[in-house]
Amino acid sequence: MTQLALVIDLNVCVGCHACVTSCKEWNTSGEAGPMSDQNPYGADPSGTFFNRVQTYEVGEFPNTETVHFPKSCLHCEDPPCVPVCPTGASYKRKEDGIVLVDYDKCIACKYCSWACPYGARELDEKQQVMKKCTLCVDRIYDMSMPEADRKPACVKACPTSARLFGDVHDPESVVSVAIREQGGYPLMPEWGTQPSNHYLPRKKTRITLHPDELVRSDNPLKADGREPSTNGNGNGPTLEDASNW
Amino acid sequence: MHPAFSVIFLTTLIGAAQGLFLAMVAVQFHVGVNGFAAPEAVGFYAVGSVISLALLGAGLLASFFHLGHPERAWRAAAQWRTSWLSREVIVLPAFMGMVFLYGVAHWQGMPTLLPALAGVVLAFALFVCTGMIYACLRFLREWHSPLTVLNYTLLGSASGFTLATAFATFSAPHAVRFLGGWAVALTAAAFIGRLASLIRNARLKPKSTLQTAIGIKHPKIVQKTQGFMGGAFNTREFFHGKPVATLRAIKWFFLVASFFVPLLLLGFGGDGAAIFLILAFVIQYAGLLAERWFFFAQANHPQNLYYQSIA
């Protein structure tokens, strides 16, 4: 069974909102109708988005880290929003696990949004139907596109490749490998929703350098006895001098 | 959560209607199946059924204002296998039909046992459906409790029996004492049930935290921006936006108006003083509107963790 999902690398995300705008651009232009905005240039703008980037500060000054956190529908394996839908408009596709809304059946009772702990669903105020991330279902299967473009718009837009897309049920897929090898985790695991989207944690990038490693042993200046040296007074042996014979 | 008046009116109106129907059936069984003489039976049961139907219809009408696409509401009966909302959508009209049959049977002097029993089953089924719509949402922990179903049943029954008591002063005076006793008992039981849920909810510790919400295990995390500066569905639907003092005032209002004042007035009106009993119902209903508002406002949705700071 296929379960398509996103894996979002919090270690790489720079919070540029390119995924937000790219998502909105692609999905507002689709055949499902626009993602409407209310009062877009007025005092209190509001609108429909499938994806948002939030920013958190972790730790206490001065030891703080800024974490940018993109949030969209997690396409849960056990989506609580689906069984509560009274009309069947909300459904999870068997073939690829994408959770979708049938805009022609939705009565906008908003019950599914109450049933989603992540706040992934938004009511389109103009169209009066519930909307959410579709994993660009109208894009990833579009055979008229080059294969490299058959990815969600947010993934294509990310300048730092913080967003990976693939089948989390295939153990060799790029997303499964990333989850397995980089400690990918789901959000709010306490509710048993089994989100398909995973997040890769922040990590410290450290490297240990020996001063020797910064110096070329075959530096011609060194042969002249001028520059540089590693022992501070300019004429000590380097690690390579000792081992390279 | 942001309390929606459509749902507040729906749940309180149909609750009173269900209670009124249960009260009529209780009187019928109390005085025997063939009970009152015909003219009185028509006055109490048939007109009572009309009142119950009117309340159910008003509730149903209110529910349509909750929908973005009311013209598609018929579709909501489709998913009864999984959705309590869908089950409510089926049971509510079925109950209305049974109340109608019950009223007609009394009016025409036909056998009433079958619609009475079927109506009682449907009335309780409707209480369960309405309560379970909220109680089944496991991460809305203020609602996720058997007390939610119990309180919907008790609060609806109490207001319905109070209404029946007031109505009986005009149509069936010798049933006033019987109905008044039940109204007092149900109002007291509803008070205990609601108090239990208030105590339970005050002691709840949130299961989701900012740490589990974004998956970073650090004791100190602060949201710097939710990602946008204007409003969104997420900031409107899930926040009541009222200060704590307002919530506290509404809680005290509903405790006084739904329980204490009606109990006093039912006591005064026990021997059939209509004005006390009508006042008891009106004040209790106003109290229940506030109770329902508080019920929604108190529920704290975990998605709110993601929307704590605009910029």
CA distance B227 to B310: 7
- The residue behind tokens 């006042």 is B279
Q: What's the pTM?
A: 0.91
Tokens of B292: 């329902």
Interchain CB contact of B72 with A (< 8 Å): yes
CB B28 within 8 A of CB B45: yes
- In Å, how far is A59's CA from the nearest CA of chain B? 5
Q: Is the pLDDT of residue A226 over 80?
A: no
- In Å, how far is B36's CA from the nearest CA of chain A? 43
Kindly state whether residue B227 falls inside one of the protein's structural domains.
Answer: yes
Instruction: Kindly report, residue by residue over B2-24, the tens digit of the pLDDT.
Output: 999 999 999 999 999 999 999 99
Mean pLDDT of chain A: 91
The β-bridge relationship of strands A122-124 and A90-92 is unpaired
- In Å, how far is A90's CA from the nearest CA of chain B? 11
Instruction: Give the largest CA-CA distance in chain A.
Output: 85
Number of domains in chain B: 1
**What is the reported pLDDT for B1?**
94
Chosen from A16, A51, A84, A198 to mutate, greatest number of chain B CBs within 10 A: A84
Kindly state whether residue B289 falls inside one of the protein's structural domains.
Answer: yes
Overall average pLDDT of the A221-242 stretch: 60
**Which residues of chain B make contact with A60, given a CB cutoff of 8 A?**
220
- Please report, for the domain that includes residue B285, its CATH number: 1.20.1630
Chains A, B: CB pairs < 8 Å: 172
Overall average pLDDT of the A48-62 stretch: 96
Percent of chain B with pLDDT over 70: 96
Determine the structural domain holding residue B117 and report its residue range. Answer: 5-305
CA distance B76 to B83: 9
Q: ipTM value, please give it.
A: 0.92
Kindly state whether residue B178 falls inside one of the protein's structural domains.
Answer: yes
Kindly state whether residue B310 falls inside one of the protein's structural domains.
Answer: no
Interchain CB contact of A102 with B (< 8 Å): no
CA distance B296 to B268: 33
Chain B, residues 174-193, CB within 8 A of chain A, namely: none
CB A111 within 8 A of CB B136: no
Kindly state whether residue B311 falls inside one of the protein's structural domains.
Answer: no
Overall average pLDDT of the B85-112 stretch: 95
- The residue behind tokens 């692609």 is A26
Interchain CB contact of B76 with A (< 8 Å): yes
Residue A184's identity, in one-letter code, is G
**What is the reported pLDDT for B311?**
74
- 8 Å CB contact of B85 and A116: no
Interchain CB contact of A66 with B (< 8 Å): yes
Q: φ, ψ for residue B23 (rounded to 5)?
A: -65, -40
- 8 Å CB contact of A17 and B227: yes
Q: Is the pLDDT of residue A32 over 90?
A: no
CA distance B12 to A170: 50
E strand intervals along B27-171: none
Kindly state whether residue B69 falls inside one of the protein's structural domains.
Answer: yes
Kindly state whether residue B128 falls inside one of the protein's structural domains.
Answer: yes
- 8 Å CB contact of B79 and A83: yes
Kindly state whether residue B170 falls inside one of the protein's structural domains.
Answer: yes
Which member of B137, B207, B301 has the closest CB to residue A190? B207
